[in-house]
Structure 1
Amino acid sequence: MKLRWLWIACWLPLLISCSSNKDSLIKIHTKHGDIFAILYDQTPEHKENFIKLAEAGRFDSTQFHRIIDNFMIQAGDVFSKEGLPEEEWYTIPAEFNEALIHEKGAIAAARQGDNINPEKRSSGCQFYIVEGKVYTEKELTTDMRRLQKQFMKYISLESNKELAKHYAELYSFGDFSAMNDLMLAKKEIMEDFYDINLDKKLSPKQIETYTSIGGTPHLDEGGYTVFGKVIKGLDVVDKISAEKTNQMDQAVNPVYITVEVEEMSKKKITKEYGFEY
């Protein structure tokens, strides 16, 4: 009996080691091509839930039902597809991690708003993939809400009538990028004029990431759980994001998905997809 327990004790560390050397490769198939992703061990409940739904085929025949170009694409509305009553639409506790940010390709859980979901619990099925954009360091490290508030105050001054007129023209054309550029160009002037600081603090990782590959940095402040990352197929994300949509942000020509899970060694994932553990 003692020999048997000794044998088990010797093999157990090896079994655990072998298990930890594998991961679940997520494959999302669409008409535009395939998206390959990994899910983070730092968000175990989200990872387990997603894999469980995928392996049961419950994601299949859902679609990217909300698409906003240069922002994100949202999918996985399993509960509506299955016709479940809302009382059966379960949620998952938030698993926030400051190291997991909304970079391009990040996979995060959708959720209801804070007014009815103060705990910021995640949807049990819906997820989104970040597209976003690349930012300059200046716009990234500026508190844009405070900047706009001060700018509106600034252009209300009699001496800034021409500036207010220019801003109104850009607004009438819907040129929001140029509007932001105009406000940023006046940032230092307004800081001196009102004796304020309009900067906001970001981590070195956020600055490096959002000024290179891009993403949606303001979502880092919104309390959404990032639980995975696209490791191949960002071009497919871009194609889906470029789909023509209606006023409800729904694709005119639906983009349906099927999702599968493949157990693969971490070494092979790194070799084939370049993801470093």
Structure 2
Amino acid sequence: MSIQKLKYTAIILLILLAACRESTKTSGEQSITVEKDSVLTKTSAVQATDSVKISEQEPFVLTEENAIDFFFNYQKGLPTTKVKVTTSLGSFIVELYDNVPYHKANFIYLTKKGYFNNTMFHRVVKDFIIQGGNADNKETAQKRREIGRYLLPPDTRKGYRHHRGTISMPSSEMDNPHMLASPYEFFIVVTKPGSYHLDGNYTPFGRVIEGMDVVDLINQQPVDDGDWPSKNIYIRKAEIVK
């Protein structure tokens, strides 16, 4: 074999060797890419699972859309219920009516959530009503955010009237032609024998059965021009009692 042929042969061998090396390198890169894709897929799956777990752990919040269904189910099987309200001027006990289910369930739910604790009787109208369940503190605003924003439908056809000692629910200050109730507040009638002009517009959902003298004492406190008590009257605690 001539020297020229040997040179050609060597060149051809070098070309073939280089091609083999390039093929091996490309194959290896594809394997790594697939492995990376596989890892990303697993990571995405883990992230998705974590997202589901976070979603499952998010606290329940009441809204206009879910409140009625929630309280319809919540009130099932609730016994006749009494709530003791302890204030900075003494305590009284309210018995809730069984056949006003949404308002009863709402009051029990808020009581068990501790909403009324550290709120106030923020409106006192002499010889008429005391109104509670609100406060100008951050704690109350935070509780409302956590529980939710919703209203309750009126339930005025059960025959209950606004006798003295009746606990009822005010309508919302929002644009509210249907007199939907503001769920976080309540008022108690102190008028003798009652304030019957309220019938049909507001929903009585219980009555004071013990401690009406404390309700009267609250109603006798001095107030400013806006019916806000001159000295804060706190609801220290609301609790379910037998």
Q: TM-score, with normalisation over the residues of structure 1?
A: 0.54
Q: Which of 157, 166, 171 does residue 97 from structure 1 map onto?
A: 157
Matched, 1:218 2:202: no
Partner of 2:221: 243
Residue correspondence of structure 1 range 1-277 to structure 2 within 5 A: 22-77=79-134, 81-83=140-142, 84=144, 88-112=148-172, 116-133=175-192, 214-221=193-200, 223-257=201-235, 258-262=237-241, 264=242
Separation (CA, whole Å) in 2 of partners of 1:72 and 1:107: 10
Q: CA 1:124–1:79 in structure 2 vs 1: closer, same or farther (change >3 Å)? A: farther
Separation (CA, whole Å) in 1 of partners of 2:159 and 2:136: 30
Deviations 1:76-123 (CA, angstroms, capped at 9, x unpaired): 1279722457xx53111111125200000000001136x921111111
Question: Secondary structure in 2 aligned to 1:82?
Answer: helix
Deviations 1:18-48 (CA, angstroms, capped at 9, x unpaired): x78x522100001221110111111100000
Separation (CA, whole Å) in 2 of partners of 1:251 and 1:79: 13
Q: Is the 8 A contact 2:156 2:204 kept in 1?
A: yes
Partner of 2:67: none
Segments of 5+ residues of structure 1 without an aligned counterpart are: 1-18, 134-213, 265-277
Q: Is the 8 A contact 2:85 2:92 kept in 1?
A: yes
Matched to 2:162, the amino acid is: H
Q: State the identity as a percent.
A: 34
Segments of 5+ residues of structure 2 without an aligned counterpart are: 1-76
Matched to 1:229, the amino acid is: R
User: Aligned Cα RMSD in Å?
Assistant: 2.1
Question: Secondary structure in 2 aligned to 1:91?
Answer: coil
Deviation at 1:56, TM superposition (A): 1.0
Rg larger in 1 or in 2? 2
Q: Is the 8 A contact 1:32 1:236 kept in 2?
A: yes
Matched residues, number: 160
Separation (CA, whole Å) in 2 of partners of 1:79 and 1:47: 25
Q: TM-score, with normalisation over the residues of structure 2?
A: 0.61
Separation (CA, whole Å) in 1 of partners of 2:209 and 2:118: 23
Q: Which runs of 4+ in 1 moved over 3 A?
A: none
